[in-house]
Structure 1
Amino acid sequence: MLQSVEPLSNQSISSPSPRKLWLAAIKPPMYSVSIIPITTGTAVAFGETGKINWVVFITFLLSAILLLVWENLCNDVFDSETGIDKNKAHSLVNLTGKKNVIFAIGTICLLLGIGGVLGISLWQQDGSILILIALCCILGYSYQGPPFRFGYQGWGEAICFFCFGPLAVSAAYYSQTQTWSVRALVASIVVGVATSLILFCSHFHQVADDIAAGKRSPIVRLGTGNSAKLLPWVCASIYVTTLICIGLGAFPIWTALVITSLPATWKLCTLVNEYHDYPERVQNCKFIAVGLHFWSGICLGLGFIL
């Protein structure tokens, strides 16, 4: 999905280069999904306490990235078993033909990620964040993993919201303060919605494959037209929530910097509205959503730090 769409020439499309396929399989931009919840929770903690434990922050950040690697690798393996990725040239399983190796690497990343969180818990003599992250992992597995495969039932966006929103942000905040915060919880709603948008947008170009594999994603259920109409309202909730919290005094005025991500929102909604039923035109909207998620998350966290 990372590769750009090649223009039609003589009724054919040139094949993507191996480099582009590997970049698409590894998905470098997607790892902001694991970074933003940790930076947001830590930023809220800094805003309230004026200090950051950098060892905890860096350990948690690396652990979150490893856990997302695990989830991405395992999702490739599980999707290969349902046949939904048969037309996905940049699936790691399709690229390597070694499903067991991919699964083993993912498992190693899971153990290392959990090990980092466990280390923080043992150091602080408090298992709260370990419980939260374990719950994230369980939900993450249930997304594509058998026998649950909740993503195939249309629950993927909700799972993303809770894993990368309330659970991860609250865990990051707690790792710094060993207390809970309503402010961090509200901030996590903004992050969770922005994360779910990425998954929501990833389905526009693969409706046919989803239907063939029996995957009832929200795009399949609503249709691409209705989903395109819903998208601006979901995006607007990010800004409305932030502005309401500023008005109520829950967020500092500097969090209004989130508004600087509006160009990405406009680009995303305009593209999807115009090309929602043209898979080859809309396939990269997911990465515009990644940009929206990254900049809104960075600006939100920066607002709490300032």
Structure 2
Amino acid sequence: MTTKAAGASANVLAKTPGTQKKLWLAAIKPPMYSVAIMPIVVGTAIAVAETKTLQTGIFAIFVFAAILILAWENLANDVFDSETGVDIHKSHSLVHLTHNKSLIFWLGNLCLATGLFGIGAIAAMQKDLTVVGIILLCCILGYIYQGPPFRLSYQGWGEILCFFAFGPLAFAAAYYSQTQAWSGTNFAASTIVGMSTSLILFCSHFHQEADDAAVGKRSPIVRLGTQRAAQLLPWLTGSIFALTAVCVWLGVFPVTTLLVFASLPIAFKLCKHVGATHNKPEKVSNCKFIAVAMHFWSGIFLGLGFVLPQLLGLGTVLPA
């Protein structure tokens, strides 16, 4: 399947101005950038809870850099997917919308270079290259996820790579950028946000099962089938809340982090929707946006739970 042929097929739907606008919004994926922001928000919240200080300049630079690096990954993935034919029906692919794969490729590289420049600025301010090393490792995981010759997402490793890149590694970088130290509490929280991030990718494959299988992409949905994957989803989603409760019970998290349970209605909505529509691509396709909402609000409530004791004048209940 050539890029030109795939693009011609995908662009059949992209005729009217209204459709074009919707396709561009879908291609840019504004809600998805919470994936880049949330590890920094929660990791920084934990650093503030433990040190009672916030380096606002470093935080702002890190958020901006993370958004650019995720933009690179999204743009690069569109380019790499256009080469395999997996996105033949993806009318909102930027490669299909622009008819210019080279432009998207180099625009992605520009985003990556600018984002890494921001991370380098943080390292220069701190005279410490640790954060640069961690983020470079995240970028390597981002490349081997979809980039040739690795394309590990085609072997079903995407969710695992996503977990580490946006969980432990991103959290470690965010926390270290504030403290130049490490934290067991931060690591524990990273597994929760890492899981919710991987769930977004997991959910994004339900409506793509046929296209993925056609090109040999062995995503978890292809391996399990939509019905078994839908049955597994409540257990994966429930792990976010179970891990939080266990960490509170063990004294690793303050009790206020149980605020994360306020996002439970979104989790129920996600599981119910996927359970009812898992084998109906046109109806289940929006489940990834429900997963994004759950990721965003569970992350916000988790981060707030760490800083709330100080905001209420209760001091910190985190272990020393």
* Pairwise TM-score range, normalised by the shorter structure: over 0.9
Q: Give, as a single letter, the amino acid of the residue that structure 2 aligns with 1:186.
A: A
Offset of residue 213 of structure 1: 1.3
Alignment of 1:42-191 (within 5 A): 42-191=44-193
Cα distance in 1 between the residues matched to 2:109 and 2:73: 9
Q: Which residue pairs with 1:264 in the alignment?
A: 266
Deviations 1:27-55 (A, max 9, x none): 00000000000001100000001110001
Q: Give, as a single letter, the amino acid of the residue that structure 2 aligns with 1:31.
A: Y
Q: Which residue pairs with 1:284 in the alignment?
A: 286
Secondary structure of 2:252's counterpart equals coil
Cα distance in 2 between the residues matched to 1:37 and 1:105: 25
Q: Which residue pairs with 1:296 in the alignment?
A: 298
Quote the sequence identity (%). Answer: 60
My pick for the range that moved more, 120-129 or 153-162, is 120-129
Cα distance in 1 between the residues matched to 2:263 and 2:76: 31
Q: Which residue pairs with 2:7 in the alignment?
A: none
Cα distance in 2 between the residues matched to 1:170 and 1:234: 23
Deviations 1:109-138 (A, max 9, x none): 000111111111111011111111000000
Partner of residue 195 from structure 2, selected from 180, 184, 193:
193
Alignment of 1:235-246 (within 5 A): 235-246=237-248
Cα distance in 1 between the residues matched to 2:37 and 2:251: 26
Cα RMSD, aligned residues only: 1.2
Segments of 4+ in structure 1 off by > 6 A?
Answer: none
Q: TM-score, normalised by structure 1?
A: 0.95
Gaps of 5+ in 1: 1-11
Offset of residue 17 of structure 1: 1.2
Q: Which residue pairs with 2:22 in the alignment?
A: 20
Deviations 1:70-111 (A, max 9, x none): 000000000000011111110000001000000111000000
Q: Which residue pairs with 1:30 in the alignment?
A: 32
Deviations 1:54-76 (A, max 9, x none): 01000011000000000000000
Secondary structure of 1:17's counterpart equals helix
Q: Give, as a single letter, the amino acid of the residue that structure 1 aligns with 2:129.
A: G
Cα distance in 1 between the residues matched to 2:271 and 2:89: 27
Q: TM-score, normalised by structure 2?
A: 0.91
Q: Give, as a single letter, the amino acid of the residue that structure 2 aligns with 1:114.
A: L
Q: Give, as a single letter, the amino acid of the residue that structure 1 aligns with 2:74.
A: N
Cα distance in 2 between the residues matched to 1:238 and 1:85: 31
Secondary structure of 2:218's counterpart equals coil
